């Protein structure tokens, strides 16, 4: 009877309320803590190994975001200690026009805790190309980072091309159908 009472009592207990998420205290969490980067990449550029991440996971217009760039030497794994200049421009078909293709200077950053942090805040949705430039031993290094701000377009350039192709196919088939029907009607009139 005692064992049965203890089992019933244990099953009725509510779950424990913890203030930790995966072992981290909740007071250490901020807006980037549980958000994965939207884009993460790594590359080797000359004597350097470069890693970059963009936060938040889904950048939106009129909301701040951040790019983190790690630059380390390949030979001794030491961080590059210089300045990195960040610029951005639209990366779409309209960027070839003079008004929308202008390059915006985001800022020049110095090394801070083994990385370069650059904030951004774009006012309109679209595809952008963020360029990080630095110079070491007289050699220029350029890293291009694609960035999508806001929801993607419903129909992109590939969708437009597919639509045009389907439209041309439909037009050709209608013209061919009309020609064949006209030929049948003429042959009917000639046989009568």
Helix/strand/coil for 72: strand
CATH number at residue 45: 2.60.40.3340
List per-residue pLDDT tens for the chain, 192 residues long.
787 777 776 666 555 544 444 544 555 445 555 566 667 889 999 899 999 998 887 888 998 889 999 999 999 989 999 999 999 998 765 544 444 558 889 999 999 888 999 999 998 888 899 999 999 989 999 999 988 888 877 777 788 888 999 999 999 999 999 998 888 888 888 876
CA separation, residue 8 to residues 11, 71, 148 (Å)? 5, 59, 55
Phi then psi for residue 191, to 5 deg, are -80, -20
Task: Report which of 120, 145, 142, 144 is spatially closest to residue 59, judged by C-alpha positions.
Answer: 120
Query: Quick check: is 154 in a domain?
Result: no
Q: Are 86 and 132 in contact (CB under 8 A)?
A: yes
Q: What's the pLDDT score for residue 188?
A: 84
State the pLDDT at residue 21: 47
Evaluate whether residue 52 is within a structural domain. yes
pLDDT reported for residue 99: 47
What residue numbers bound the domain in which 80 lies?
32-149
pTM as predicted: 0.62
172 is a domain residue: no
Domains in the chain, number: 1
Q: CB–CB of 64/121 below 8 Å?
A: yes
Residues whose CB falls within 8 Å of the CB of residue 117, separated by 6 or more in sequence, listed in order: 66, 67, 68, 109
Residue 165 lies in a domain: no
The one-character DSSP state at 79 is B
CB 45 within 8 A of CB 72: no
């Amino acid at each position: 009877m005692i064992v049965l009472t203890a089992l019933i009592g244990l099953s009725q207990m509510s779950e424990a309320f913890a203030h930790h998420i995966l072992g981290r205290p909740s007071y250490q969490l901020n807006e980037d803590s549980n958000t994965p980067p939207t884009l993460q990449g790594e590359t080797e550029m000359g004597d350097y190994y470069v890693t970059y991440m963009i936060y938040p996971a889904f950048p939106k217009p009129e909301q701040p975001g951040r790019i983190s760039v790690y630059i380390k030497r390949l030979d001794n794994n030491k961080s590059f200690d210089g300045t990195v200049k960040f610029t951005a421009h639209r990366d779409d078909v309209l960027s070839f026009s003079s008004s929308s293709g202008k390059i915006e200077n985001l800022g020049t950053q110095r090394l801070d805790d083994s990385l370069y942090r650059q904030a951004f805040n774009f006012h309109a949705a679209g595809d952008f190309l963020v360029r990080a430039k630095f110079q070491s031993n007289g050699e220029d290094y350029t890293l291009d980072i694609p960035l999508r701000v806001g929801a993607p377009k419903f129909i992109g350039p590939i969708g437009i091309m597919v639509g045009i192709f389907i439209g041309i196919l439909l037009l050709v088939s209608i013209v061919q159908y009309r020609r064949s029907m006209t030929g049948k009607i003429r042959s009917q009139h000639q046989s009568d």
